[in-house]
Amino acid sequence: MAVGDAAGRRASQIRLAVYHGSVSEPGFAVRAEDQPAWAEIVRRAERGESVAVIARGDHVADVVPSGELDRLHETIEVLSDTELVRDLQEGLADARAGRVFSAGQVAADLAARRIADE
């Protein structure tokens, strides 16, 4: 068997699927034998779609919009900061308990602090 034949068979076993919002529900799938162009995958990423790469039945990679990747990195950074997560949980508990201030109250408090500092 020629090397090119094996590579061709492997390529024909790769499938691409586009996911809308949830990775469990593909909105679009492309089989490798359809020879999808990278330009189409890039267009879909530009529209905010993630494209899953399926090789021989296994999900091996994703092409995601760069903004989505940035959001994922930020989420990881936030969740890695235990003090920040604790502060967020306390803030949410305060909001649920009604311990909140209106924008007007915050503005008035800031103005009063500025006057006190002068």
Provide mean pLDDT across the span 77-103.
94
**Contact (CB, 8 A) for 65 and 46:** yes
Amino acid at 68: E
User: Which position has the higher pLDDT, 64 or 100?
Assistant: 100
DSSP H stretches of helix in the chain: 3-12, 38-46, 66-80, 82-96, 103-117
Task: Read off the pLDDT of residues 55-80 as tens digits, 9 standing for 90 and up.
Answer: 777 777 788 888 888 898 999 999 99
Helix 66-80 / helix 82-96 crossing angle, nearest 10 deg:
90
State CA 118 to chain mean position distance. 46
Output the pTM of the full model.
0.45
What is the pLDDT, as a whole number, of residue 11?
43
Does 35 score more than 50 pLDDT? yes
Handedness of CA 61, 65, 51, 14 (dihedral sign): negative
